[in-house]
Amino acid sequence: MTFRDVERAVRKLEPEVRDTGDRICKVYCCGTVVGWTKVSRKQGRNSEVGPRLLALIPKQLEIERRLFEDIAGCTKGRREYLDARGHVGHP
């Protein structure tokens, strides 16, 4: 998985993005932060993401790694993420 793939997967969660040296992505539902992650801009977009970082992103988003892989693989999206975080039926 490349950094571009990670960015694409995180964008599917429709986060608010704050651009600092890195991108801080916060996912909101009903005015509350449901999850967040940081996406580095220092790496090349086509560089491969290491296993340590791939384990950290789902942990920051507070979901199982398999769900993050499904989001990145285009089989799941924001609705499934919110369901996994306990916001069932929310937009």
Burial of 30 (0-12, 13-18, 19+ CB in 10 A): exposed
**Which is nearest to 62 in space by CA: 41, 89, 32, 42?**
32
Task: Give the model's pLDDT for residue 77.
Answer: 93
Mean pLDDT in the chain?
A: 88
Residue 27: pLDDT over 80: yes
Residue 91: pLDDT over 80: no
Distance of CA 18 to the CA centre of its chain: 14
Residue 23: pLDDT over 90: no
| pLDDT tens, position by position, 48-76 | 888 898 899 999 999 999 999 999 999 99
Residue 90: pLDDT over 80: no
Contact between 3 and 49 (Cβ < 8 Å): yes
Task: Give the model's pLDDT for residue 33.
Answer: 93
Tokens found for residue 52: 């340590």
